[in-house]
Chain A
Amino acid sequence: MTRAGPGTGSIRGRLMVLLLGGSAILALALFWVVQGFARQLAEESQDNILSASVTSILDAARIENGALVLDLPYSAFSMLANLHDDAVYYAIRADDTFLTGYDDLAAVPLPRADMPGFATRSFLDQDVRVVTAERALGPGGGQDSAPIRLSATLAQTRSGQEITLTRISRAAAAVGLGVFAGAAVLALAASRSAIAPLERLTLSVTRRGPQDLRPVTAPVPLEMVPLVAALNRFIGRLRGSLARSEDFIAEAAHRVRTPLATVRMQAEVTLQRVEREENRKSVREMIRAIDESSRAAGQLLDHAMVTFRADQLEETDLDLGAVTRDLTDRLRPTADLRDIALQARADDPVPIRGDAILVQNALRNVLDNAIKYAPEGSAVRITVTRQGEEGVVMLRDTGPGFPPDGMTRLRRRFQRGANVDGIVGSGLGLTIADEVMRAHGGTLDLRNNPDGGGACVSLRFPMA
């Protein structure tokens, strides 16, 4: 299993951080803006009421018989009564001389003679909003005296405003949180949707069989097209180089096998002629080695063929029983040489779809193995049955069986059991069978007979 390079953080994580961070900043900004706006509005509305009140106080002042009359309108103060009962203070001065109210409530300097001045101050240990307005009234006293500058200062505590602001702040916080929560959900959805094609591609590449080197054709988003194109080019190169090496092996095997046949024939002839026992022995050794090489070359060829055809199966309707019977009949002469009985039994037709040449090849390799490893004079039992949705060919011999740790290892190329010394073999037989089974969507089961020794090999094909 190849490992990927070191991870450099996840795209989804980065997206989430960016989107969530962005929406958090937006939510905070929203909170501040709403709160600031609300504060401004609340202050403005208090200022407006204070301003109206102080104006009504000034309007009610008049000169009567040369004397200043101050007649505080009831509404001037009652209009300041709000839900939270704020306290009210006032001071009225004429030409900076205190007349009535709270002497220590200082006037606010006016920005302009005809505009009220506002200030926020502390009065009697409370926060108060203060307004001062002025009005010229006159003339007072005699005919020639200057008009009176009447100044009214009004202050109101801000507890009602604070309560309103707290309420608005809470609402603003709730809105901000709501926006953030909504954005979080959207961010999750957005990052998921952005990542989805990548995951689909990963899944489709991961799910492929080990031999599947077809180019990726599933539609992908525009941004991923270059990546997939690069991937496909890479797969193409890999396929090319694999095909070349398989070709090379097949070619090599072929080239080796033909001369080997000639060499073996010559060796047989030589064996007939040689008299001395020690010479005959070494010739027999020679024939054995030639057999081994020839068999290995044959299997290499088989393997190359299986690899080639597995990519593009030529599937036809097959009866698994008939295929098995044919093969058993063909291998019976070989079995007879070792005095091994092949007992084949097939159920009613077991139809499958498959590449006839590959299926025969797989069966031949496992049957070959069984004949090879079974003790002389024993029997190999072959049964073809239906098991649910599978057609199963099961071969049982009474040989040494599989080494307990080698069930997986044996399927690999050139791997042989630890208990098979002295028997000719290339280590490709089970590999071939396994590849064929995979190409057909079936499985190759390797196990030992539960009752007494011997191997039990099952080829499980999906039923047609």
Chain B
Amino acid sequence: MRIPALSDGLIRALTLALTLACIIAAHPVQALDVEDRRRFGPDSAAQVLRILSTADTDVFAPVIRAFLIQEPDIAVDYIVASSGAVMAAMTKRPQDFDVVISSAMDLQTKLANDGFALSHRSATTETIPDWARWRDHLFAFTREPATLVLSRDAFRGLPLPRSRQDLIALLRQHPDRFHGRVGTYDLRASGLGYLFATQDARMSESYWRLTEIMGSLDAQLYCCSSAMIDAVARGDLAVAYNVLGSYARARPDADRYEIIQPQDFTTVMLRTALISRGTQAPQAAGRFLDHMLDIAWLGKTTEGYEFDRLSQTGPASGAHLRYIRLGPGLLVHLDRFKKDSFLRAWESAILQD
């Protein structure tokens, strides 16, 4: 088993953390493992909205800029951290943040469930369908299907698999071609990978068969989607499983691989936002949330907005799309015992030394 991308990312994170630690040493956010931090808006702003997010600053900046045009008196302190770090920071110091944006639906649900979120109702939230919000606390603003990314080179001469069953059959038939060239998340390190895996396992037994086969082919394990896509683009990997489709599409060398939504079912993750219970600026935080949701749901035009916009039809829009349901069900896999037993089963399937 090799984990090349993991050490890579670790070094990057460390350098980033070190540089940032110097800049913001005086701030209460010091406890947090910050990946990036940027301030938007005038220095003289009367109010600073502190947003804790897992989304890259560049991707999210257009939303913030559009908001600041409407609200000249507000500045935004945008802090990027991993979903685990976001969870830890919020449970320790909820008063340090106003808005929390995360792709970890399960952790967001736990935050809302455990009373770290503030209820928010507005004309905008009324327009959001039930499947995309929970308890007036948690609101989905974009969706992200988990896709197969396949290297064109590696599949030359082979039919492209359209479903897990196709993939399982191909991997079985051509073990030599795919040995050591199949990649997926290291569930022990990736919260998103764990979320996708638990949902897949809940949906179908084929997940376990696939994992067994990937294990037998000496699967490579990664921390995150981008590292896997990098590996496919480089030609190191032939198959990357459960990769965020939007990341794959956004790359300039996207023609080197094929992005497939498995037709048996494609798990769809929702990025969600909530207002921190400890917010110092509930009004401004509410307006920011509404602003985000207006863009996401009502198609308010925003230059440079790259997230997938949502529509009311949601789960009904494609037969193969399985939206992960917001709600207490997501808490089950966060249980210590449940997670231990799931990871044990996964390890025994994927690590076949």
A, B bound: yes
Can you list, as one digit per residue, whether each of A77-91 has a CB less than 8 Å from chain B (1) or not (0)? 110110111111100
Q: Does B335 interact with chain A (Cβ within 8 Å)? A: yes
Q: Mark B110-137, 1 if CB is under 8 A from A, else 0.
A: 0011110000000000000010001100
Interchain CB contact under 8 A, B337 and A85: no
Chain B CB within 8 A of A70 CB: yes
A contact residues around B336 at 8 Å (CB): 100
- Which residues of chain A from 428 to 459 have any CB-CB distance to chain B below 8 Å in the complex? none
| CB of A287 closer than 8 Å to a CB of B | no
Q: Are A71 and B341 in contact (CB under 8 A)?
A: yes
B112 and A87 contacting across the interface, CB-CB below 8 Å: yes
Inter-chain CA distance A87–B331, complex, in Å, is 10
A164 to chain B, nearest CB (A): 16
Expressed in whole angstroms, the Cα–Cα distance for A100 and B332 within the complex equals: 11
**B325 interfacial contact with A, CB 8 Å:** yes
Known: A71-B337, A76-B332. A88 touches B113 (CB 8 A): yes
Is the CB–CB distance between B134 and A85 below 8 Å? yes
B338 touches A77 (CB 8 A): no
A80 to B109, alpha carbons, bound, how many Å? 14
* Binary interface encoding of chain A residues 99-138 relative to chain B, with 1 for a CB under 8 A from any of its CBs, else 0: 1111000000000000000000000111000000000000
Determine whether the beta carbon of A81 is less than 8 Å from that of B329: yes
* A72 proximal to B (CB < 8 A): yes
**Which residues of chain B have C-beta atoms less than 8 A from A78's C-beta?**
325, 327-329, 332
Identity of the chain A residue whose Cβ is nearest the Cβ of B329 in the assembled complex = A78
Q: Is B38 an interface residue (CB 8 A)?
A: no
Cα distance A99–B338 when bound, in Å?
A: 12
Report the Cα distance A73→B337, complex, angstroms. Answer: 11
B328: which A residues are within 8 A, CB to CB?
A: 77-78, 80-81, 86-88
Q: Mark B92-119, 1 if CB is under 8 A from A, else 0.
A: 0000000000000000000011110000
Contact B115 A72 (CB under 8 A): no
Q: Which residue of A lies closest to B115 (CB)?
A: A124
Are B337 and A72 in touch, CB under 8 angstroms?
yes
Most interface-central of B115, B327, B328 (chain A CB within 10 A): B328
CB-CB under 8 A from A102, the residues of chain B are: 114
B27 at interface by CB-CB < 8 Å: no
Contact (Cβ within 8 A) B113 A87: yes
Residues of A within 8 A of B329 (CB): 74, 77-78, 81
Q: Are B130 and A83 in contact (CB under 8 A)?
A: yes
Q: Which of A84, A85, A88 has the most CB of B within 10 A?
A: A85
- Knowing A87-B112, A87-B135, A124-B114, the reply to whether A72 touches B335 (Cβ < 8 A) is yes
A69 at the A/B interface (Cβ < 8 Å)? yes
B232 to A: closest C-beta gap in Å: 31
Complex CA distance for A169 and B202, rounded to whole angstroms: 39
Q: Residue on B with the closest CB to A75?
A: B329
Interface size counted on chain A using CB atoms at 8 A = 27
How far does the alpha carbon of A16 sit from the alpha carbon of B327 in the complex, in Å?
Answer: 55
Task: Report the bound CA distance from A100 to B341 in whole Å.
Answer: 13
Q: Is the beta-carbon distance between B325 and A100 smaller than 8 angstroms?
A: no
Interface size class for chain B? 20 to 34
Within 8 Å by CB of B332, from A69, A72, A159, lies: A72
Task: Give the CA-CA distance A125 to B118 in the complex, in Å.
Answer: 13
Closest chain B residue to A69 by CB distance?
A: B341
A88 touching B331 by the CB < 8 A rule? yes
- Closest residue of chain B to A157 (Cβ to Cβ) is B135
* Chain B residues within an 8 Å CB radius of A84: 135
Structural contact, B134 and A100, CB atoms closer than 8 A: no
Cβ–Cβ < 8 Å partners of A72 in chain B: 332, 335, 337-338
- Residues of A122-175 at the interface with B, using a CB-CB cut-off of 8 Å, are 124-126, 159
* Contact across chains for A74 and B202 when beta carbons are under 8 A apart: yes
Query: Please, which residue of chain B has its CB at the minimum distance from the CB of A60?
Result: B338
Give the Cβ gap from A74 to chain B, nearest Cβ, in Å.
5
Docked Cα-Cα span, A81 to B337, in Å, equals 22
Output the nearest chain A residue to B341 by Cβ-Cβ distance. A71
A69: B residues at CB distance < 8 A:
337, 341
Nearest-neighbor residue (CB-CB) of A156 within chain B = B328
B338 in contact with A71 (CB, 8 Å): yes
Contact assessment for A85 and B327 in the assembled complex, using a CB-CB cutoff below 8 Å:
yes
Chain A residues with CB under 8 A of B326? 85
| Chain B 275-301 interface mask (CB, 8 Å, partner A; 1/0) | 000000000000000000000000000
Q: Which residues of A contact B135 (CB under 8 A)?
A: 84-87, 159
Residues in B whose Cβ lies below 8 Å from that of A100 = 335-337
Residues of A within 8 A of B134 (CB): 85
Q: Which A residue sits closest to B113, measured CB to CB?
A: A87
A77 contact from B112, B114, B331, Cβ within 8 A: B331
Q: Is the CB of A99 within 8 A of B325?
A: no
Taking each of A69, A70, A74, A100, which has the highest tally of chain B beta carbons within 10 Å of its own beta carbon? A74
User: B297 to chain A: closest CB distance in Å?
Assistant: 18
Query: How far, in angstroms, from A442 to B134 measured CA to CA in the complex?
Result: 89
Contacts of A83 in B (CB 8 A): 130
Q: How far is the CA of A78 from the CA of B328 in the complex (A)?
A: 6
Q: Shortest Cβ distance from B159 into chain A, in angstroms?
A: 34
A290 to chain B, nearest CB (A): 109
Q: Which of B113, B114, B325 has most A Cβ within 10 Å?
A: B113
Bound-state CA distance A159–B331 (Å) is 19
Minimum CB–CB distance from A97 to chain B (whole Å) comes to 14
Bound CA–CA A72/B327 (angstroms): 15
Q: Mark each residue of chain B from 256 to 292: 1 if its CB lies under 8 Å from any CB of chain A, else 0.
A: 0000000000000000000000000000000000000
In angstroms, Cα B114 to Cα A421, docked, is 113
Within 8 A of A (CB), among B314-343: 325-329, 331-333, 335-338, 341
Complex Cα distance A223/B114, Å? 73
User: Nearest Cβ in chain A — how far from B120, in angstroms?
Assistant: 14
B90 to chain A, nearest CB (A): 15
Give the docked Cα–Cα distance between A102 and B113 (Å): 12
Chain B: minimal CB distance from A456 (Å): 86
**CB of B275 to closest CB in A, whole Å:** 16
- Can you list the 8 inter-chain pairs with the closest CB atoms, starting with the nearest? A78-B329, A70-B337, A88-B328, A81-B327, A77-B328, A124-B115, A85-B135, A87-B113
13 A-B pairs in the complex with CB atoms less than 8 angstroms apart: A71-B338, A72-B332, A72-B337, A73-B332, A77-B331, A78-B327, A80-B328, A81-B327, A84-B135, A86-B135, A88-B328, A88-B331, A126-B115
B residues adjacent to A (C-beta < 8 A): 112-115, 130, 134-135, 202, 325-329, 331-333, 335-338, 341
Interface on A for B, CB 8 Å cutoff? Answer: 69-74, 76-78, 80-81, 83-89, 92, 99-102, 124-126, 159
Q: Kindly list 7 other residue pairs between chains A and B, CB separation below 8 angstroms, not including A76-B332, A85-B327, A100-B337.
A: A72-B335, A78-B332, A85-B135, A88-B331, A92-B337, A100-B335, A124-B115
